[in-house]
Structure 1
Amino acid sequence: MDSATMRAVVAHGAGDLRLEERPVPVPGPGEVAVDVQYGGICGSDLHYWRHGAVGEFRLREPLVLGHEIVGRVREAGPGVQAPPPGTPVAVHPLDSCGRCRQCHAGRRNTCLDTGYLGSAARNPHVQGGFADVLVVPAERVLTLPEGLDLRLAAVAEPAAVAWHAVRQAGDVRGKRVLVTGAGPIGCLVVASLRAAGATDITVTDMHEAPLAVAKQVGATSAVRVGVGADHLEELAADIAIESSGSPAGLRTCVYGVDRGGLVVGLGLLPPGDTPVAANALITRELRLVGSFRFDTELTEVLHALSDGRLAVEPVVTSVVPVTDTQKAFELAADPARSCKVLLDFGEPTSL
């Protein structure tokens, strides 16, 4: 690899993941180039690798994966006011249109024409950030609070997803909360609940390893599905947050909350219509709300990570060099061996 090229992690189809050389991008007006240091592997990245699709969004061209990105400012485009080169930053992955009724209502995360790093929802696709250098609009580059380690900051994007879900739940102080699914997002939901003042947090999962991480970040009770989980319908939680993305997890939430309780749907369910215990929703007078991505929460989370309110260090279980991308993805796909796996891009590409 010479100074004019960089490495990029590219999905070409189901099971076809490649580490390629690509030209180093140069920022134009209104843009900033970032030397990527860490990229967190998300469930959506795993779906593009394994299935060539995330829900209804299918690969129609090669896609650079990755949207959980932190690094350092490389250079700014012409006339751009940006932090000086070398400044540690996080990258907001959302590109909203700014014109639709959702954007005008302050709900950019539900924009009618949104783009997201590393997503096949649009055609052409929105190329992602698993590359040595990423160019984005300057307003999406967020300077890290002083002293915040880049490795810890790499968890900020998925933590903002969890933070938004907890916000959708309202005031959780002193509440009993059930969380279904102890993957990276579920564990970050637990940490966010703890930061927001929830006192009794029960989390469920199919594997012991993620449950152990959930307890490290604040769960007061961990239940392995199928082993002592029968009592969950008697839990009578005030709030349930579904983060497993499974119909079974949603059913557990519906029956695990008390009558008049609140269920927050966070994990994306399989495409198509999903059977729901609608009669239970009605007769138990439950409220069901959705939670999708995030907006301004990324800035809040960066400060919460910096001041220690959001304790998530145990969530990062592995950091793998980008040269071992295949190994990293295989590890991230195995919940018995990992929680959050980071790709390490190492030293910046030369200018």
Structure 2
Amino acid sequence: MSPVALPTQRAAVLHAPKDLRIEERVLWPPSHNQAQVSIEATGLCGSDLHYYLAGRNGDFVIQDPLVLGHEAAGIVTSIGTHVNHLKVGQRVAIEAGIMCNDCSYCRSGRYNLCKGLRFCSSAKTYPHLDGTLQDRMNHPAHLLHPLPDNVSFEQAALAEPLSVLIHASRRASLEPTQTVLVFGVGAIGLLACAVARSKGASHVVAIDINAQRLDFAKKHGFADAVYCLPTVDNLKGRTTGNPVEDALRRSKETIANALMVLGEPDGVDVVFECTGAEPCIQMSVHAAATGGKVMLVGMGARNVTLPISAAATREVDILGSFRYANTYPAALALLSSGSLPNVDVLVTHRFKLADTGKAFELLAKGKDENGRMVLKVVVGRGPQ
């Protein structure tokens, strides 16, 4: 008898920087606690782009070929023997982090801090765990979240970055009527503005170095007011000969001017720092009002010089935020509620799986051939 041919599927596999190949892989059935999902939409994010361009994301270096992608949604096509809460044909969002469910962090509900956590498309752990840029994938069933009927696959793919901001807003104890400033208005920053609005913030303002992105944020109602930061070359003033002290002084003076323009001369209640850039982190401390909070969301510079006395003497809390925990139901409910107007405009470009390389190249450029700004690029399953 001839051997039975196993079914296959396509996957976009990164072998080295910019070496991304569409490959045929065996499609294995789901294990007893898994479900198999047909991936209908995957949003590309900054960490995916770092891996694509450099083969690494910070300290995490690709050691074996890796399937990227972790902002995804799809349709259940098969279920394991011990899965009772899902059915074939169900639309789901995929939560990409697989926790151990046994450590003290997992037991306390902070599973995002689980030391054994494995994350789809991340090279932090080895063997790596493949991501969602493939036709189908098997995933633990308890991390598949049913979609409300009025939430599309593209919107559900936004549940992952939206979860980052829901988690950050919980860490900041964001309350109605508070004032909010967001540094950086890429997709994450725009979602920070949107979450702040959904929480009833009285005034949401945004700062960036990109005037086009700021115009987008203002035009589509994400921010009430915006401010475009001057470049370092355009910043004038005395110098002390100490580069660190000069940088701290420039940050303080720059944000003071920005706050005046934004109508918040005394600072804001909560700052969401979504860039990871050292000058913006420094400015965040001065942007917070006395007794305010700085929420560090962006991942960038590993080591930063902070105006720590300005934080201490004004009781400004500086808080870290890493991914999310127990947020997906809230994110999907928020997407379904209509409380995030214009969220669909975040998806600016779409590609099929076969064109994943082109999608990454466009994301790296930041603008398409027509000069349109690139925010969120979504890769869809496309034809077989």
Query: TM range, normalised to the smaller chain?
Result: over 0.9
Q: CA deviation at 1:342?
A: 0.3
For the residues of structure 2 that align with 1:82 and 1:166, how far apart are their CA atoms? Answer: 30
Given candidates 45, 49, 68, the residue that maps to 2:48 is 45
Question: Is it true that 1:232 corresponds to 2:263 in the alignment?
Answer: no
Deviation string for 1:246-298 (max 9, x for gaps)?
Answer: 11221121111122211000111233x22222222223321101111111111
Question: Is it true that 1:186 corresponds to 2:216 in the alignment?
Answer: no
Given candidates 277, 283, 294, the residue that maps to 2:313 is 283
Q: TM-score normalised to the size of structure 2? A: 0.85
Aligned counterparts, 1:308-347, within 5 A: 308-311=338-341, 312-336=343-367, 337-347=373-383
Counterpart code for 1:54: N
Counterpart code for 2:365: D
Counterpart code for 1:121: K
Tell me if structure 2 keeps the 8 A contact 1:96–1:113. yes
Question: Is it true that 1:260 corresponds to 2:269 in the alignment?
Answer: no
Question: Is it true that 1:173 corresponds to 2:179 in the alignment?
Answer: no
Tell me if structure 2 keeps the 8 A contact 1:32–1:77. yes
Question: Is it true that 1:5 corresponds to 2:8 in the alignment?
Answer: yes
Tell me if structure 1 keeps the 8 A contact 2:41–2:154. yes
For the residues of structure 1 that align with 2:108 and 2:99, how far apart are their CA atoms? Answer: 12
Deviates more, 1:212-221 or 1:87-96: 212-221
Tell me if structure 2 keeps the 8 A contact 1:61–1:125. yes
Question: Is it true that 1:199 corresponds to 2:230 in the alignment?
Answer: no
Given candidates 141, 146, 149, the residue that maps to 1:146 is 149
For the residues of structure 2 that align with 1:96 and 1:120, how far apart are their CA atoms? Answer: 16
Aligned counterparts, 1:58-73, within 5 A: 58-73=61-76
Q: CA deviation at 1:233?
A: 5.1
Tell me if structure 2 keeps the 8 A contact 1:180–1:252. no
Tell me if structure 1 keeps the 8 A contact 2:134–2:353. no
Question: Is it true that 1:242 corresponds to 2:273 in the alignment?
Answer: yes
Q: TM-score normalised to the size of structure 1? A: 0.93
Show structure 2 runs of 5+ residues with no match.
Answer: 232-253, 368-372
Q: CA deviation at 1:15?
A: 2.6
Tell me if structure 1 keeps the 8 A contact 2:109–2:326. no
Counterpart code for 2:322: F
> Identity of paired residues, percent?
34
Deviation string for 1:71-110 (max 9, x for gaps)?
Answer: 1011112342243222111111111112222112210111
The structure number with the bigger radius of gyration is: 2
Show structure 1 runs of 5+ residues with no match.
Answer: none
For the residues of structure 1 that align with 2:344 and 2:358, how far apart are their CA atoms? Answer: 22
Question: Is it true that 1:104 corresponds to 2:107 in the alignment?
Answer: yes
Tell me if structure 2 keeps the 8 A contact 1:30–1:79. yes
